[in-house]
Amino acid sequence: MDKFLYTVDEIRAIERAATAALPPGTLMERAGQAAARFALELIDGARHQPVLVMAGPGNNGGDALEVAANLREAGVDVTVLHLAAGTPSFETARALQRARDKGARFVDELPLGERFALAVDGLFGIGLTRPLEGGCRTLAHDLDRSSCPVLALDVPSGLDADTGNVVGGATAHRAVVATHTITFIGNKPGLYTCDGRDHSGEVRVDTLGIERQHFVPAHAQLNAPELFANDLLGSRRPQNSHKGSFGDLVVLGGAQGMAGAAILAGRSALFLGAGRVFVAALAALPPYDSINPELMFRDAAGCELRARTLVAGPGLGDQPDAARLLTKALDQGNAMVIDADALNLIAGTPDLQQRLTQRVAPTVLTPHPLEAARLLGVTSAIVQADRLEAARELAARFDATIVLKGSGTVIATPGGDVVVNVTGNPGLATAGTGDVLAGICGALLAQGWGEQQAAWCAAWLHGAAADALVYEGVGPIGLSAGELPAAARTLFNAMVSEAKPLPL
């Protein structure tokens, strides 16, 4: 269940169905118990220090008060900062009384200078629609400046559970930065994309014992190798193989001054197993690549495209010859990855958009937020305001698989299903990494992978390669795109060798 992602509306529906079948207050009690168990794990070895519990005025605050009562029962000193407002619900009032009866210490403001083993953020949950203001904003700021670990209940206060944005915008407002989050009933997409990854820390999901019959179907999930396990198995190579067994790939790009982008994509395709890789360049290129002489260079105008997987866009430019080449490529019946300048050309040319929507061959688009905005005719801020919805709209509009890059890359299919990628780090925020992703995805398509599975695996590998390099001390600062292909190759071979078939 942890892999599935639910919107706030879906969580509310599940909660209503479960509540109708349970005694009043059951879910709040279970949330308090689950969070208290997690808190005890986190403070193990530091139980002599008190725990700060911040409880807001709503039911998320009630969850926090249950945590306070349970921690007191476990012998932990608890300080509660309760921001009461109006008449609490029956469940919250009962939790407040339990916390008082168990001996929690209540304060009216954050005890400055006092050291806590842990702070529990139960200020606001998934229902927050306005920015943190006043004392709540100050609390988030003070927590961020402290060295105290923070456990958020459901979502870090101030974070939109659906979109991953700081409510009101991160430039002007704040959200609690948690080291750990325990999220209730079902997982939330906002914990994994946009600002979510910077605020949620390690995430644990607790379904609160709700029976499966009460769960609505999920239309989003987290990316994981299990999604493409059968394709990994199929990538094991028989001894009786030859280069023609693994497909030909052509990178269309390399305009004047931008040859590096096409070469990066080509090298990535080589390292991820494409049988033969050609760079069809618009500008004059050297006769061979001195680092990877296996790459073959062709003049774009005369390069044969039929029966070859295409990666269009790296360094393609925006000149008329680029548009003509892209028109020719879109009319082929080949599997195709469309990236970078090819996306911008399509965004500005209705004829190219029509040709794209008419394609029946596997097609993957890999835009960053600004490229996605151009394709949709909106601003990048609108794309980032709801990354899942923007990716879905692009997939439906162009009848293609969309890989919307960014923190928590979103992969969407025309049917509306979404996968959110969890690998990767800020080291990828540098020139050329998108070209590498396009080359990886193209290599998988060339080897016969389906477009969805190729997109899922490419996003996973791309991020995991960056994570492996950072683990080895390479980056995130200064990590370069050219270091990614070899790391991705190592990971891919390991994944293929270790893959197990999915149960029927």
Q: 3: pLDDT confidence band, cut at 50, 70 and 90? A: very high
Domain co-membership, 275 together with 400: yes
Residue 240 lies in a domain: yes
Q: 203: pLDDT confidence band, cut at 50, 70 and 90? A: very high
- Please name the amino acid found at residue 393: E
> Any binding-site annotation on 341?
no
- How confident is the model over 46-65, as a mean pLDDT? 92
Q: Say which residues have a Cβ less than 8 Å from residue 253's Cβ, sequence separation at least 6.
A: 261, 262, 265, 279, 280, 281, 282, 311, 312, 313, 314, 315, 316, 317, 340, 341
> Any binding-site annotation on 45?
no
> Any binding-site annotation on 260?
no
| Distance spanning both ends of the chain, measured CA to CA | 18
Residue 271 lies in a domain: yes
Domain co-membership, 108 together with 132: yes
Asked if residue 358 has pLDDT above 90, the reply is yes
Radius of gyration of the CA atoms of the chain, in A: 26
Q: 163: pLDDT confidence band, cut at 50, 70 and 90? A: very high
The whole-number pLDDT of residue 504 equals 60
Asked if residue 476 has pLDDT above 90, the reply is yes
Residue 504 lies in a domain: no
Domain co-membership, 154 together with 232: no
CATH at residue 308 = 3.40.1190.20
Work out the burial of residue 242: count CB atoms within 10 Å of its CB; fewer than 13 is exposed, 13-18 middle, 19 or more buried: exposed
For CA atoms 229, 234, 237, 242, the dihedral sign is negative
Report the distance separating Cα 175 and Cα 181, nearest Å: 13
Residue 24 lies in a domain: yes
Report the distance separating Cα 123 and Cα 137, nearest Å: 11
- How confident is the model over 154-158, as a mean pLDDT? 97
Element (H, E) at 397: helix 387-398
- How confident is the model over 391-413, as a mean pLDDT? 98
Mean pLDDT of the chain: 95
Asked if residue 400 has pLDDT above 90, the reply is yes
For residue 448, how many other CB atoms are within 10 A of its CB? 15
Q: 272: pLDDT confidence band, cut at 50, 70 and 90? A: very high
Residue 87 lies in a domain: yes
Domain co-membership, 203 together with 232: no
> Any binding-site annotation on 158?
no
Domain co-membership, 476 together with 394: yes
> Any binding-site annotation on 431?
no
> Any binding-site annotation on 318?
no
Domain co-membership, 212 together with 241: no
> Any binding-site annotation on 128?
yes
The whole-number pLDDT of residue 1 equals 60
Report the distance separating Cα 157 and Cα 175, nearest Å: 6
> Any binding-site annotation on 240?
no
- Percent of the chain at pLDDT > 90 equals 85
Least Cα distance to 208 among 255, 154, 247 occurs for: 154
> Any binding-site annotation on 493?
no
Domain co-membership, 232 together with 204: no
The whole-number pLDDT of residue 502 equals 72
Domain co-membership, 16 together with 37: yes
- How confident is the model over 317-323, as a mean pLDDT? 96
> Any binding-site annotation on 478?
no
Structure tokens at 130: 């306005």
Domain co-membership, 297 together with 392: yes
Asked if residue 35 has pLDDT above 90, the reply is yes
Residue 503 lies in a domain: no
Expressed as residue numbers, the domain containing 346 is 225-498
> Any binding-site annotation on 244?
no
The whole-number pLDDT of residue 110 equals 85
> Any binding-site annotation on 406?
yes
What total number of domains does the chain contain?
2
Question: Sheet holding 118-122: strands in order across?
Answer: 105-107, 78-82, 51-55, 118-122, 150-153, 180-184, 202-206
**Farthest-apart Cα atoms in the chain, separation:** 82
pTM equals 0.96
CATH at residue 43 = 3.40.50.10260
- How confident is the model over 198-212, as a mean pLDDT? 97
Asked if residue 285 has pLDDT above 80, the reply is no
> Any binding-site annotation on 409?
yes
- How confident is the model over 170-190, as a mean pLDDT? 93
The whole-number pLDDT of residue 10 equals 97
Element (H, E) at 452: helix 451-471
> Any binding-site annotation on 368?
yes
Asked if residue 430 has pLDDT above 90, the reply is yes
DSSP 159: B
Domain co-membership, 241 together with 175: no
Asked if residue 390 has pLDDT above 90, the reply is yes
Report the distance separating Cα 373 and Cα 484, nearest Å: 27
Asked if residue 59 has pLDDT above 80, the reply is yes
